[in-house]
């Protein structure tokens, strides 16, 4: 028997962080996505233990400030793409500049230097990932998906989807539908 599950990554990560930090007896506050404010600075031995515990869940402690800023950019883009109402009031460049308190030019250069891709390309990749999830999990039309992801048209979504995946959204939908039918036939 196969079941499908849906989960919220941020909620899951916050829960794992809280469980591990509580188990080690830390007094802390989870700030934004991916930031922890400790009331007392942990020792290097404690940080090593925490790092080992978190790595079992695929969570990595970032010590380089530039890498941490790039992660904050990724987290902010994820909020924009996933439909955070506050984030969607702005275009991505304005939102990132205001949220992270750096010029967009600096953020863009740093992001490209560290990740070897542009923020714009990262936004497209995130949007296509969300589009695929919406196609798989929901019964939304392509028009509804394009609207939800702030595309100007279905054609624009389709062009970026095909460039990124090699398939049109319609072809992707058909493949998913066939896979689901085969899974039902096997049961």
Between residues 178 and 26, which one has the greater pLDDT?
26
- pLDDT tens per residue, range 122-156: 999 999 999 999 988 877 889 999 988 888 899 99
> Do 151 and 99 fall within a single domain?
no
Same domain, 97 and 128: no
d(CA 99, CA 104): 11
Question: How many C-beta neighbours within 10 Å does residue 45 have?
Answer: 8
**Torsions phi, psi for 156 (to 5 deg):** -65, -45
Q: Are residues 37 and 81 in the same domain?
A: no
Q: Does a structural domain hold residue 130?
A: yes
Stretch 78-100: mean pLDDT, rounded?
A: 83
**Alpha carbon 157 to its chain's center:** 19
Please name the residue that has the structure tokens 């509580």: 22
Please indicate, yes or no, whether residues 102 and 146 belong to a single structural domain of this protein: no
- Whether 145 and 182 map to the same domain: the answer is yes
Report the alpha-carbon distance of residue 175 to residue 166 in Å, rounded. 13
Q: Decide if 122 contacts 115 (C-beta within 8 A).
A: yes
Same domain as 73, residue 106 = yes
Res 23 pLDDT > 90? yes
**46/68 same-domain check:** no
Domain's final residue, options 116, 133, 149: 116
Residue 2 lies in a domain: no
In a domain, 4, yes or no: no
Bridge partners for 154 per DSSP: none
Q: Are residues 125 and 182 in the same domain?
A: yes
Q: Is residue 92 part of a domain?
A: yes
φ, ψ for residue 37 (rounded to 5)? -105, 110
Residue 151 near residue 134, CB atoms below 8 Å: no
Ramachandran sector of residue 150 (left: φ over 0; alpha: ψ -120 to 50; beta: rest): left
Q: What is the pLDDT of residue 161?
A: 95
Reply yes or no on whether the pLDDT at 79 is more than 90. Answer: no
Here the CATH number for the domain that contains residue 129 is 1.10.10.60
To the nearest whole percent, how much of the chain has pLDDT over 70? 95
Per-residue pLDDT at 128: 96
The residue with tokens 């998906």 is 145
Report the pLDDT value the prediction gives residue 186, as an integer from 0 to 100. 67
- Say if residue 70 is in the same domain as residue 52: no
Q: Within a domain: residue 1? A: no
Q: How many domains does the chain have?
A: 3
First to last CA, the chain: 7
Range of the domain at 105: 64-116
């Amino acid at each position: 028997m196969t079941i499908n599950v849906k989960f919220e990554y941020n909620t899951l990560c916050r829960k794992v962080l809280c469980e591990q930090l509580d188990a080690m007896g830390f007094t802390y506050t989870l700030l934004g996505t991916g930031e922890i404010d400790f009331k007392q600075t942990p020792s290097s031995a404690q940080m090593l233990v925490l790092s080992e515990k978190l790595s079992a869940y695929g969570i990595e402690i970032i010590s380089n400030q530039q890498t941490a800023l790039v992660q904050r950019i990724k987290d902010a883009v994820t909020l924009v793409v996933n439909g955070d109402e506050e984030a969607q009031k702005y275009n991505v460049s304005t939102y990132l500049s205001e949220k992270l308190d750096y010029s967009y030019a600096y953020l863009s250069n740093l992001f490209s230097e560290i990740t070897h891709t542009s923020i714009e390309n990262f936004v497209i990749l995130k949007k296509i990932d969300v589009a695929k999830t919406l196609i798989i999990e929901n019964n939304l039309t392509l028009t509804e998906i394009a609207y939800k992801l702030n595309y100007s048209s279905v054609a624009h979504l389709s062009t970026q989807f095909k460039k990124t995946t090699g398939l049109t959204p319609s072809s992707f939908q058909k493949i998913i539908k066939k896979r689901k039918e085969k899974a039902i036939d096997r049961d």
